[in-house]
Amino acid sequence: MRRYIFLTAMVCAAAGCTEEISTAPDLGFLQVNPRTAEVLIPFEDFLDEVLVFDGYGSTSEIGRGWVAADLDGLNARTLVGFDEYPTTPSSDQNRGALIFTGGRLVLHFDSLAGELDSRVKVEVYQVEEEWHPESVNWEFAVDTTGGQRAWSQPGGGVTTLVGAANFIPEASDSLSIPIDSAMVAFLKTEPGARPPALLVAAVGSGVSLQLVKMTLVLTSSTFLNPEPWEETVPAVTTSFMFDPAPPPSSGWLRVGGTPSWRSVLTMSLPREVTGTPETCGSVGCEVDLTDVHLNLAELVLTTRQTELAFQPQDTTGVDIRPVLSPELLPKSPLGEAVAFPKGVPREVFAGQAGTQVFLPLTPLLVQVLDSAAVTGTVPVTSIALFTNIEPHLIGFASFEGAGGAGAPALRLLYTVTNPVGLP
Amino acid sequence: MRFFGSFLVLLLILSSPLAAQSVIGASGLGMRLEPLDAVQRALGGVGVTTRTPTVLPGNPAASLDLLAPTITFTAQPQWGTYVVGSEKGDFFATRFPVLGFAYPLGTNSVITLTAGSQFDQNWSVVSRGTVDVHGESVGYTDRFLSDGAVTAIQAGWARRLSTVFAVGATVGVYRGGLKRNFFRVFDGETADSVAVENPIETTTVLGRWNHSGLLASLNLLWDPSPFLQLGATMEWGGTLKVNPVRGFQDLGRVVSVPLQFKVSTTVALSSTLALNAGANYSDWSGLGDASVEDAGAGRVVSYGAGVEWEARNFWAGGLPIRLGFRQSKLPFRFLGERVKENTVSLGFSIVMAQALGLPLAALDVAAEAGSRRSGTYDESLRRLTMTLRVGGN
């Protein structure tokens, strides 16, 4: 039998058992008659409610600090918690108890992300009061659900100046502030006590800097080896606080920032839309969206200028997910991402405000319409707009809200067909 | 039984539709695809009389002269070019129109099991268009794909009633499936070569059907002299049911397939030269389903003839050379017009093993060239048919 199968395979190979079926132009005999049309649904026809929430994440999560002085009336300070002083040399070549004879504070700034015109005076203070890195803000050192403790003075409480220096962005991206042995000793804490804690502030007007990294470098020696070397004390927590907080959004949408903003839109998709001449001909008709093939659904948002101090420093990645339990907002769990996060450039929240942004909703609305086709009722759907990394940037994105020319809209591209049927 | 095992293996290999392809198949039940082997193709035959014993669907009498259990397998690549108005294009596909197994019962009877093509429903059409998205023109491609075939699986029996007269009969079922898919695929760029903001999903419309039904045939074979063979076949097409697969909303269809009458003769003009001629008649009206009936071509007659010349030997047996022509009218109109197919053919057989002067293993080849025409639609066609016959215990 084997030889027969072999012969069969030979014939098959000779015949070329592949297929390239006949392809011809559409000769007009197909019944499927596809017609694609676009429709723009205004805000009032699909949006029931827009809610804006803030407070997602903490300033301690992005690993950077922010210092600002009178930036459009805003001040920002960074709180840095350090590790304990080392007790033994980090190098095996040195032995014995460490002796600290001085040191310096090294601060690295991201001048590209800040708003700078010239040199900036940076001051570093020792913080007397304890704070909670995850919840600290301008008014409160601790601001948790379980307890709240205000600073003795807003903005960091009682402090002692450790050092100051001028940061010149054109010259370098870092700043070194020397401290003498007395200050080194002053900052040192006993083992088990609260490690050194510093506050970084800027002096001046219209200043804004991102603090990328801060270290405490100690000039060290031992009794056996008096030749000095440097031991580094790393920062273990970085939080920032600012004042005043952004004004509440009056109907417009916010996404991102630190702590982050989320905008939640509750949608009731209309089951029918007015058909176009392509779909209905000249007589007009209503198109049932549960009967069409949805090719594209986009939430059309118009950007607005974010408050100067909070304008995004980089592209904002906007993620959209369904809100699974709207009654639990602002803590409702969210569903799967509707689409890959959309990158929105920073410029459209500054000089190019008024730009339209199209956020994809197609997979979600296909599900909604499929469900409506089964149940007969279009389900109310809530979606949350937030940044894909939360928190990510200090600044946040702003979009126009209800009313006005830039109100959100829903753009649909759909195709009406007949069944493929039999010829 | 080893042959039956081989047959089953082949049946699994060839589970794809046994059919051919042309956009003409978009009409009615599809493109009629006759279950003929390479010998019949080369001679312009209709599959009723043959000098070469073989296994033909619907005609077990053709297997009466087989000495041993035999399996046959036919492959048929086709190439074509269509022209309609200013449009022109090519197509290519391979089909397997005949798969057969015959088991002689003594010297006077034979039973057969065959799978033979009936209608081909493989074709596609493509067109381009544009739509405005965000005020920008975005192109799209519409593609309609039809993938399916109607195949008849038949069991047959034939018996020689005397030295000159034989009868045969088959019963069978229609089997096959049909997928009809429409896709509108949007471009990723606007007409100005700017990437679209968000991907536009493809529109997909699907339909699935199954084919079922019964059919039968009766065969008569008469050899009034050693030089003349006459044959007739009546095929009862029965009712072909086209039922939507569960989960698909489309409507089904029930079609009355008409009776088909075939007559054929083979005349031995000399010891090396033979003439074959045959005709086929059916009436494709009154089909029971309005839309199929609208496409029906009414009474259609197909005929063909050919000569076989066997003057030389090659390998293990004779080397017959065949020449033929065929004119076929297809059962369904296309774009409202009747479809006519004309081909001329050339073929030969290579016998690889034989016993008692009858081939046990042979390869038959037929090459056809011709055209199909329906109103302004024109196709030129090149078809190669290869049949492998293998017999033995």
pLDDT of residue B286: 87
Q: Is B92 on the interface with A (CB under 8 A)?
A: yes
Residue B191 banded pLDDT, cuts 50, 70, 90: confident
Half-sphere exposure at residue A97, Cβ-oriented, CA atoms within 13 angstroms:
0
Q: What are chain B's domains?
A: 2-391 (2.40.160.60)
A26 neighbourhood in chain B, CB within 8 Å: 125-127, 142, 144
Q: Which pLDDT belongs to residue A25? A: 56
Tell whether the model's pLDDT for residue B123 goes beyond 90.
Answer: no
8 Å CB contact of A422 and B123: no
Pairing of strands A342-344, A316-322: antiparallel
Nearest CA in chain A to B185: A295
pLDDT computed for residue A65 by the predictor = 92
Cβ-Cβ contacts under 8 Å for B62 (sequence gap 6 or more): B47, B48, B49, B50, B53, B54, B55, B56
Q: What domains can be seen in chain A, in order of their start residue?
A: 35-56+249-416 (2.60.120), 74-243 (no CATH)
Interface contact B367, partner A, CB < 8 A:
no
pLDDT at site A97: 80
pLDDT confidence of residue B84: 81
Residues B121/B148, Cβ–Cβ less than 8 Å:
yes
Does the beta-carbon distance from B203 to A7 stay under 8 Å?
Answer: no
> What residues of chain B lie within 8 A of the CB of A422, using their CB?
178, 180, 207, 209, 242, 250-251, 253, 291
Cβ <8 Å between B93 and A19: yes
- Residue-wise pLDDT for B240-280, tens only, equals 999 999 877 778 889 999 999 999 999 999 989 999 999 99
Counting one residue from A and one from B, how many pairs have CB atoms under 8 Å apart? 184
- A36: helix, coil or strand? strand
Q: What residues of B are in contact with residue A20 (Cβ under 8 Å)?
A: 91-93
Query: Is B88 an 8 Å CB contact of chain A?
Result: no
Tokens matching residue A89: 């040399």
Look at residue A171 in the predicted model and tell me its pLDDT: 80
* Chain B from 93 to 132: CB within 8 A of any A CB: 93-94, 122-127, 131-132
Task: Give which of A2, A31, A369, A422 to mutate to test B binding, by max B Cβ within 10 Å.
Answer: A422
Q: Are B24 and B334 in contact (CB under 8 A)?
A: yes
Q: Give every residue of chain A whose pLDDT is below 50, as ranges.
A: 1-22, 113-114
Q: Which of B46, B94, B104, B44 is nearest to B73 (CA)?
A: B94
What was the pLDDT predicted at A271?
Answer: 92
Of B133, B142, B204, the CB nearest to A26: B142
